[in-house]
Structures are given as C-alpha cells and as structure tokens.
Amino acid sequence: MSPFLAVLRRELRLAQRQGSDSLVALLFFVLAVLIVPFGVGPDPDLLRTVAPGLIWVMALLAALLSMDRLFLADHEDGSLELILLSPHPLESVVLAKCLAHWLTTGLPVVVAAPLLGLMLNMDATSLVPLVAALALGTPTLTLVGAIGAALVLGARRGGVLVSLLVLPLYIPVLIFGVAAVDAAIHDFPVRPHLLIEAAILLAALALAPWACAGALRHAAE
Amino acid sequence: MHRYANPAQFLRLARAVQPWAAALTAVCLVAGLYLGIFASPPDYQQGESVRIMYVHVPAAWMALFVYTVMAAASFAALVWKHPLADLFAKAAAPIGAGFTLIALATGSLWGKPMWGAWWVWDARLTSVLVLFFLYLGHMALTNAFDEPTRGARAAAILALVGFVNVPIIKFSVDWWNTLHQPSSVLRLDGPTIDPSMLWPLLLMAIAFTGYFLCLVILRMRAEIAARRVRALRFGRTAG
C-alpha cells in the first residue's frame, strides 16, 4: 500500500474511533450559524442578505477550530518523528493528513450548509453556488491552515496563535466564496468566481504541502 | 553576503553605515518637509489636504518594501541558514508594522475629507490591513517559542507564505475598480504627478528609507548585544 493511502486510512480510522473531534467542528458550525438569528432578529429579508457571508465566516471558524490538532497529537506522542524518519516524502504524508482532515471536518460542513441556507431563508437557486464555492474553498482552508498548524508546533498558546497567523490568509477564499453566492443572488455569472476559487485551491494544493513539510522539519529539529 | 555572517564583520559595517544613514535621513526629512509643507502648491481639487500625501505615500511604500526585504531575508535564512538574516527579519518586522500603521492612519485622516469616510472596504485598504496583521502574526510567532532559533525559522516560513499578499496590494488598484486612486509615480509611461509635488515626495521616501536603515541597524546591534549577554550569563552559570 502506498504511504499516502496508509496515512489516509490511519487518519480516517483515528477519526472514526475517536469520533467526537470531527463531530464537534460540525456541531460548532451549525450552532454558531443558528445562534445569529437570536442576535440580529428573525427578519427573513435581513437573514437572506447576511446568510452567504454568515455561513462562510462560520465555516472558516469551524475549520480553524480543529486546525491546531492536525499535527499536535503526532507531535506529542512522537509519531511525527517516525514519519519524518521514514524514507517516504513528507509532502505526500502532509497531503494525506490534509485530505483526511477535510473529509472529516470540511465535507460535513459543505453538506450541512444548504440546510442552514434554507433555514436562513436563502433562495433555492443560490444554494447550488454556495455548495460549489464551499466545496472548492474548504479544502484550501485546510491546506493553508495546515501550514499554520505546523508552524506553531511547540509554541506557547499554539491554538490561539494559529488563528492569528491563518485568518489573514483566509480572506481571499472568503471574498471569492461569498462573491460567487452574491453573484447568483443578483443574477450575475457565477462561473468566474468559482474559477478563481478553484485556482486558489490548485495553487494551495501545489504549494502548501511544501511549506507545511518545511515547517514540520524545523519543528522536529 | 556570507562575509557578513560573522557578527564582528557585520558590526564593523553597521557602525560605518549608521551615521551616514542618520545624516541622510535628517537632511532629506528637513528638505522634504520644507518642500512638502511650504514650497509645493496645494492641489487644484484637494487643496491643502494633499500634503498628507508626503507622509502617507512613503509610509505605504515602506510597508511593502520592508515586507519584501523581510521575505528575501527569510529566504536567505532558510536556504543558507544565514545567521544574520534571522536577526534582520526579527528586527525589521516591528518597524514594518509601524510604517503600515502610519499608512493606515494617515490614509484614514485623508479619506475623511476626500471620500467622506474614515474607512471604506476597498481592495487597497483591506489588503494593507491584512499586511498589518501579517506583520503582527510574524512578531507573535517569532516570540512564541522558548528557543529563539525555532521561532525565527517558523517566522521565516510565515514571511514567505505571507508574501503572496504583496503583489495583491501593489496591483489591487489596477485589478479592481477601487476608490483608492491608481499609481501615479511608478508607471511604465512615466509619472503623472507634477515635479513640484514629485520632488518632496521622493525626498520623503529617501528619508523614510534612511530612517528604516538606522532603526534596523540599531535593533540588530541591540539584539547581537543581547545574545552576547545571554551567552556570557550561560557561561557564568556553567562555569
């Protein structure tokens, strides 16, 4: 079995056995979105206007919530050093861990988003772009967040620090993700925004594993 | 470059450069401020408030310049493990954050009379604000570890990752239709700004660069001294 698949299976099995971690991110996402109508009031028009941005911001926070755990457990119990010592490229291991992280925390958010959109009074036509933009954007959140998670290994108060490092880098994903949904609401073409979102994902897919692997090597020194 | 990996060599160079940089800063600052505040004409549209430009524009240039140099130094620190490149990035980050803050604050003061708002969510303004937070993140990460070299290496990777923001800031006024005006000095077809305003602007830019050089040398010398003190203390407790 290739190391990529082996790591992917290990991560998924860990997530399945431990259960709660990935569920917590999803529950946080749902609860955080549902608490907003209590704050701003139940006016349907207002909720419809803020829904795309709201769902995106909460998806971003949900991604951050589970981010600092990505390498922490491996760093603490020493398996990270074994992974570093293995002859397989660290970049592919990083990519496998990111994929597992997205499958367990990003994908549930993408699936839950249209339901929340309906509850916030979004039109059915704008739900498809919302799901498409989230499906293209949340893997980028995981990849960029993984760099932050690797950088803060061994730092004091690492969890808070990840947010400070990574949130500024999340802004482009947020801008084009919300722009795609807004375009659908106002009958503008959605495609360009989704293409840019896909381009950001491809760039992150190509570059983030290298930066992340570099950071992990320094963390283990 | 590797000649100056030796702190003694670097300190010799730094001591030679520092007074010249200070003198250049003083001369250009006085001349630039005089030309900018008294000798240059008010703008035909903006009136006297155009004089904010002589602080705002050089500060914004420096915000980008310092980050670019920091990213280059971080690259050198990661590839060649150059010991002073780490020191430079650590010394430059707070200064760069200061320039970014000055650019944001003066821009806000300028925006109120011109656009009628202290702040607009315009691409240029937002991306500079992101740059400010990148500086803050860099500073926080540098100081987050018990071992200074680990913090320096992590911050170097962050500086390189955050460098994607620099071209976005530079070209944000060309790519998006924004309230912030497009570039009028660094253009392919020559500056569109009148020489009577260009000269004080350039003098102020030289003054800001000289000021940055002075401060960064000062901070690097202080950091080298602090490391020596630390090494001496370790030596005393060990011996």
ipTM: 0.81
| Contact: B144, A155; criterion CB under 8 Å | yes
Q: Which residues on B lie below 8 Å from A165 (Cβ)?
A: 137, 140-141, 158
Cβ-contact A121, A44 below 8 angstroms: yes
Cα distance from N-terminal residue to C-terminal residue, chain A:
29
The CATH number that applies at residue B171 is 1.20.120
**pLDDT per position as a tens digit, A72-112:** 888 888 888 888 888 888 999 999 999 999 998 889 999 99
Q: Which two tokens stand for residue B228?
A: 């020596």
Distance CA B93, CA B212 (A): 11
pLDDT at residue B189 in the model: 65
| Contact: A164, B146; criterion CB under 8 Å | no
**pLDDT per position as a tens digit, B163-186:** 888 887 777 766 666 677 777 666
Report the gap between the CA of B164 and the closest CA in chain A (Å): 9
Nearest to B161 among A147, A154, A219 (CB): A147
Determine, yes or no, domain membership for B35: yes
pLDDT at residue B118 in the model: 82
Determine, yes or no, domain membership for B9: no
Cβ-contact B138, B74 below 8 angstroms: no
Cβ-contact A214, B78 below 8 angstroms: yes
pLDDT at residue B99 in the model: 95
* Mean pLDDT, range B78-100, rounded to an integer: 91
Residues of chain A predicted below pLDDT 50: none
Q: Which residues on B lie below 8 Å from A169 (Cβ)?
A: 161-162, 164
Cα–Cα distances (Å) from A90 to A24, A85, B150, B160, B229, in that order, read 28, 9, 19, 20, 39
Cα–Cα distances (Å) from B83 to A206, B73, B134, in that order, read 29, 10, 23
Determine, yes or no, domain membership for B102: yes
Determine, yes or no, domain membership for B151: yes
Dihedral, CA atoms, B140, B144, B150, B151, nearest 10 degrees?
Answer: 10
Residues of the domain holding B201: 16-40+49-177+193-238
pLDDT at residue A111 in the model: 93
pLDDT at residue A75 in the model: 86
Position B190 pLDDT exceeds 70: no
Best-predicted range by mean pLDDT among A133-142, A171-180, B47-56, B194-203? A133-142
> Which residues of A lie closer than 8 Å to B, measured between beta carbons?
147, 151-152, 154-158, 161, 164-165, 167-169, 171-172, 211, 214-215, 218-219, 221
Number of structural domains, chain B?
1
* Mean pLDDT, range B28-55, rounded to an integer: 83
Cβ-contact A183, A193 below 8 angstroms: yes
Count of CB contacts below 8 A, A vs B? 62
Distance CA B194, CA B165 (A): 30
| Amino acid residing at B43 | D
Position B200 pLDDT exceeds 90: no
Nearest to B130 among A156, A157, A171 (CB): A171
Position B111 pLDDT exceeds 90: no
Q: Which of A151, A170, A175 to mutate to test the interface with B (most CBs of B within 10 A)?
A: A151
Determine, yes or no, domain membership for B157: yes
Nearest to A165 among B130, B158, B164 (CB): B158
pLDDT at residue A95 in the model: 94
Determine, yes or no, domain membership for B104: yes
Position B215 pLDDT exceeds 90: yes
Distance CA A215, CA A19 (A): 28
Determine, yes or no, domain membership for B207: yes
pLDDT at residue B213 in the model: 93
Q: Which residues on A lie below 8 Å from B151 (Cβ)?
A: 155
Cα–Cα distances (Å) from B198 to B36, B56, B181, in that order, read 9, 14, 16
Mean pLDDT, chain B, rounded, equals: 86
Mean pLDDT, chain A, rounded, equals: 88
* Mean pLDDT, range B208-230, rounded to an integer: 92
Within 10 A of A25 (CB to CB), how many other CB atoms are there? Answer: 25
Q: Which residues on B lie below 8 Å from A151 (Cβ)?
A: 141, 154, 157-158
Looking at chain B, which residue has its C-alpha nearest residue A200? B164
pLDDT level of residue B137 (50, 70, 90 thresholds): very high
pLDDT at residue B147 in the model: 82
pLDDT at residue B239 in the model: 63
Position B153 pLDDT exceeds 80: yes
Looking at chain A, which residue has its C-alpha nearest residue B163? A169
pLDDT level of residue B150 (50, 70, 90 thresholds): confident
Determine, yes or no, domain membership for B11: no
| Contact: A164, B161; criterion CB under 8 Å | no
pLDDT at residue A11 in the model: 87
* Mean pLDDT, range B140-161, rounded to an integer: 88
DSSP summary character for residue A88: S
Q: Which residues on B lie below 8 Å from A214 (Cβ)?
A: 78, 157
